[in-house]
Amino acid sequence: MENMSHSTLRPAEVCGALLAALEAAEGRRRSRKRDQTPDAIGLTIKRELLQRAVQENPNAEAFEEWLLHCALACAPQSSGAVSAMARAIFDEWSLAHSMNAFKIWLDSGAPSDDANEGKRKSGGSEQAESK
């Protein structure tokens, strides 16, 4: 499994798992006391690219080119941010092929203390409301 080529996993598979991992980032972002606008913008761009990759299911061999095309096709004022998020997604996709521990973490639903903390907080308020 450690010697996987980029063609072993479809980008849509990895991107679907990365979408689940964004939940942890959202929990962490919400708990910060500083202005969250830049974080929210970056996570929104990343989420949209990941969702598009899941829907369009590009070929593994052409995934980097597909991401580059996404960045080139966006509005000029957001091309830098889209390019940065596309690069991050490609790096994470590559990591899923080269680092077995990362792939296992994604396969297990990307568990995170931050995501669990957010669920506990929202779960606690739901329980309180139902009583």
Of the candidates 1, 14, 2, the one whose C-alpha atom is nearest the C-alpha of residue 91 is: 14
Residue 121 within a domain: yes
The secondary structure of residue 99, as a DSSP letter, is: -
pLDDT tens per residue, range 26-42: 666 566 666 667 778 88
Number of domains in the chain: 1
Instruction: Report the predicted TM-score, pTM, of the whole model to 2 decimal places.
Output: 0.73
Rounded Cα distance, 60 and 41, in Å: 27
The residue type of 95 is L
| Three-point CA angle 71, 90, 41, nearest 5° | 55
Residue 131 within a domain: no
Residue 3 within a domain: no
As given in the structure block, the two tokens for residue 103 are: 């792939």
Question: From its phi and psi, is residue 28 left (phi > 0), alpha (psi between -120 and 50) or beta?
Answer: alpha
Range of the domain at 30: 11-126
Query: In terms of pLDDT, which residue wins out, 90 or 127?
Result: 90
Residue 5 within a domain: no
pLDDT tens per residue, range 71-112: 999 888 889 999 999 999 999 999 998 888 888 888 887 777
Question: What is the model's pLDDT at position 27?
Answer: 63
Residue 66 within a domain: yes
